Amino acid sequence: MSQTDLAAPTQGTGWRAWLLSDTPTSRRHAKVASLYQSWLQFRGNPMAMFGLMILVALVLIAAFASFISPYDPFVQELGNRLQPPGAEGHILGTDSLGRDLLSRIIYGSRITLYIVTLVAIIAPLIGLFVGTVAGYAGGFLDVVLMRITDIFLAFPRLVLALAFVAALGAGIENAVLAISLTAWPPYARIARAETLTIRNSDYIHAVRLQGAGALRIITKHIWPLCISSLIIRVTLDMAGIILAAAGLGFLGLGAQPPSPEWGAMVSDGRKFILDHWWVATIPGLAIFIVSLAFNLLGDGLRDVLDPKESGE
Amino acid sequence: MSGIILKDLDVWFGQGANRVDAVKNANFAVPLGESFGLVGESGSGKSTILRAITGLAETWSGTIIIDGKTLGHKRDSEFYKTVQMVFQDPYASLHPRHTVDQVLSETLSLHGFDDIENRIDKLLLDVGLGPSFRFRYPHQLSGGQRQRVAIARALAPEPRILLLDEPTSALDVSVQAEILNLLTDLRAQRGLTFLMVSHDLSVVSHMCSRMAVMQNGYIVEILSVEDMRGQNASHPYTRHLLASSLGFTSSEAAQ
């Protein structure tokens, strides 16, 4: 519906007409046109665009951190410690060791993106694999895989992550691993539920009648349909993942000092929170803004990728 | 030479107390080149027979002989090159994220054909769709166009036997006629054997030369279309079906 509405005023101009064509002329054309129509739909959602813009800004900040940040994030200047925001030379103030908070926030964005990207790759992949195999195979394999999933689901997430980190040692890589290992079970459940509805549909029967094997059906026919709901769920979970990473950092089990990880920075500022509120508040605000951006983006993606769930 | 022979075919779903016998003791033979209909009301087991033949329904007993070969419970690729099926609902039988091109090229490569590019164009022309439809997604096609794509997919391995599961019941009347004519033409061109399920007696009488009437999982009667047109049915259920399909205006003719 909305695609044809959007298509109407743009007919006629060169590349747009090509992108909105109803009769694509090559494989790539069909793919690009379908992506462009999703983009048009996504662009119509201002809140989602706002979220996307924040995240694009975050990526740019992380990429150009060494050019933007006014100071080295690790250089201590004890004479200048605990300066309030707006102090001369330090827009966001300084922390207990006199390090510039703005520079630390800017460099911390790299760590946040690193954690988020790794978790967003590892956890949904495990979940997708376990869920689709369990759902498609059924029977004994389904029971075994889903009971393992249930065991992981039964643990509180942060507690299990704490146990993993305690066993593997503190550090950012182990925090990523611990968060991923605790984040996959919900994805496995979603992927399995989707697979159960897809596996008995006529288009799967049809490809079985062409002699396709289970591996081809799962990877080429079931995965493309599961991935959109997983992307939505991952984006909406991203806030929780950032908070879990920050939580591990706060507890001293994630990033180690002097790393400018936002959770660890909040933890640092906790000691001075009554007299020097900004030391904990500013990294907290950064966590809040990025989490919010991921939630807005997730909502927008849901409208585009899964119109059924968005309630429209 | 017989294309399809069923002997004492039973098909059931579930186990123990939940067991439902969908098809009971079905026997019929369809010679190669014939078009055979299966009629009956919903739930009478028509589609289940097709699913047992294709292997989609796995719990069956009896004998199924296709093109001289007795089938086991596993189907091999040779079988899928001989027998293909067109599903009832073209809105459900095409993968929503695959273009027409993907559907057909995957089918062709699974059957080990080369020269896929030309074959796709030819298949699309054969089912009355031009090359402009090749890169469309199912949501860019109408119901009739989708069913043509589904027919092209079924024809891709060049089968000799086509199983049709109510291929027009999800389409509106004018499109139904187009699809039925297309199927008739394709059958004439390729010498296909049809096994067609329908609840619509007029469709079956248009397409088939003989038909089996099913009720509650049993085949109650096998009769020719001439007998049906001449109201020469022997089983009371068949007479009842004929009478109800004639409607109110000529109900006395059914007496």
Q: Looking up tokens 């402009």, which residue turns up?
A: B132
pLDDT band, very low/low/confident/very high, at A24 (cuts 50, 70, 90): confident
User: What residues of B are in the A interface, CB distance below 8 Å?
Assistant: 54-56, 75-77, 80, 84-85, 87-89, 92-97, 99, 101-102, 106-107, 110-111, 132-133, 135-137, 140, 150, 153, 157
Band (pLDDT 50/70/90 cuts) for residue A10 is very low
Q: Is a pLDDT exceeding 80 seen at residue B252?
A: no
* Minimal-distance CA residue of chain A relative to B92: A202
Put simply, the answer to whether B99 touches A30 (Cβ < 8 Å) is yes
Identify all chain A residues contacting B161, using CB atoms and an 8 Å cutoff: none
Q: What is the pLDDT of residue A308?
A: 57
Provide the pLDDT for residue B1: 66
Per-residue pLDDT tens digits for B113-167: 988 989 999 999 999 888 888 888 888 889 899 999 999 999 999 999 999 999 8
Delineate the domains of chain B, giving CATH numbers in brackets. 2-254 (3.40.50.300)
User: What residue spans of B55-211 are helical by DSSP H?
Assistant: 77-82, 100-110, 116-126, 143-155, 173-190, 201-207
Q: What is the pLDDT of chain A when averaged over all its residues?
A: 86
Provide the CATH number for the domain around residue A150.
1.10.3720.10
In this structure, of A276-280, B134-138, B244-248, the range with the lowest mean pLDDT score is B244-248
CB contact under 8 Å between B135 and A205, yes or no, is no
Q: Are residues A99 and A227 in the same domain?
A: yes
Q: What is the pLDDT of residue A4?
A: 43
CB contact under 8 A, B93 and A206: yes
Region for B112 from its dihedrals, namely left if φ exceeds 0, alpha if ψ lies in -120 to 50, beta otherwise: left
Whether residue A77 lies inside any domain: the answer is: yes
A207, with CB counted inside 10 A (0-12, 13-18, 19+), is buried
- Same domain, yes or no, for A131 and A266? yes
Same structural domain, A56 and A125: yes
Which of B58, B87, B89, B97 is most worth mutating to test chain A (most A CB atoms within 10 A of its CB)?
B97
Q: What is the pLDDT of residues A116-149, one digit of tens each?
A: 899 989 999 999 999 999 999 988 999 999 999 9
Burial of A100 (0-12, 13-18, 19+ CB in 10 A): buried
Find, among A154, A138, A279, the residue nearest to A198 by Cα: A138
Residues A102 and A4 placed together within one structural domain of the fold = no
**Sign of the C-alpha dihedral, residues A181, A182, A186, A189?**
positive
Report CB contact under 8 Å: A22, B136: yes
- Nearest neighbour of A210 by CB, restricted to B99, B110, B136: B110
What percent of chain A lies above the pLDDT cut of 70?
94
User: ∠ at Cα A56 (A231, A102), nearest 5°?
Assistant: 125
Determine the distance from the C-alpha atom of residue A87 to the mean position of all C-alpha atoms in its chain, rounded to a whole number. 35
Instruction: Say if residue A106 is in the same domain as residue A170.
Output: yes
Q: Give the gyration radius of chain B's Cα atoms.
A: 19
pLDDT band (50, 70, 90) for residue A18:
confident
Note whether A29 and A153 are same-domain residues: no
Kindly tell me if the per-residue pLDDT of A281 is higher than 80: yes
Place of tokens 């009896």: B62
Residue A28 domain flag:
yes
Domain with A13, as residue range(s), is 1-44
Residue of A nearest to B137 (CA): A30
Closest-CA residue of chain A to B101 = A27
Contact A209 B96 (CB under 8 A): no
Q: Is residue A96 part of a domain?
A: yes
Residue A310 domain flag: no
Q: Number of Cβ pairs closer than 8 Å across A and B?
A: 72
In a domain, A60, yes or no: yes
Alpha-carbon distance A293 to nearest alpha carbon in chain B (angstroms)? 28
Q: How far is B21 from chain A (nearest CA, A)?
A: 20
Residues A151 and A242 in one domain: yes
What mean pLDDT is predicted for residues B200-229?
89
Rounded distance, CA B104 to CA B152, Å? 8
**Residue A222 is assigned to a structural domain of this protein:** yes
The residue of chain B nearest to residue A222, with distances taken between CA atoms, is B95
With contacts defined as CB-CB under 8 Å, which chain B residues touch A209?
54, 56, 80, 84-85
Convert the pLDDT of each residue in A66-114 to its tens digit. 898 888 888 888 888 888 888 788 888 888 888 889 999 999 999 989 9
The shortest C-alpha distance from B234 to chain A (Å) reads 36
Asked whether residue A64 falls in the same domain as residue A33, the answer is no
Residue A280 included in any domain: yes
Label residue A166 by pLDDT band (50, 70, 90): confident
Residue B130: what pLDDT?
Answer: 84
pLDDT, one tens digit per residue, over B18-74 is 899 999 999 999 999 999 999 988 888 899 999 999 988 889 999 999 988 888 888
Amino acid A128: pLDDT: 94
Q: Do A84 and A37 have their domain in common?
A: no
Q: Which chain B residues contact residue A210 at CB under 8 A?
A: 80, 106-107, 110-111, 153, 157
Number of domains in chain A: 2
**Chain B partners of A208 at a C-beta cutoff of 8 Å?**
55-56
**Bond preceding residue A258 cis, omega within 30 of 0:** yes
CA-nearest residue of chain B to A26? B135
Identify whether residues A25 and A101 lie together within a single domain. no
Average pLDDT score over chain B: 88
Distance from CA of A30 to the nearest CA of B (A): 6
Q: Which residue of B has its CA nearest to A206?
A: B93
Within-domain flag for A311: no
Do A11 and A92 have their domain in common? no
What are the tens digits of pLDDT across the range B93-104? Answer: 999 888 999 999
pTM of the model: 0.82
C-alpha A292/C-alpha A238 separation (Å) is 9
Interface predicted TM-score (ipTM)? 0.88
Same domain, A23 and A103: no
pLDDT of residue A12: 55
**pLDDT above 90 covers what percent of chain A?**
36
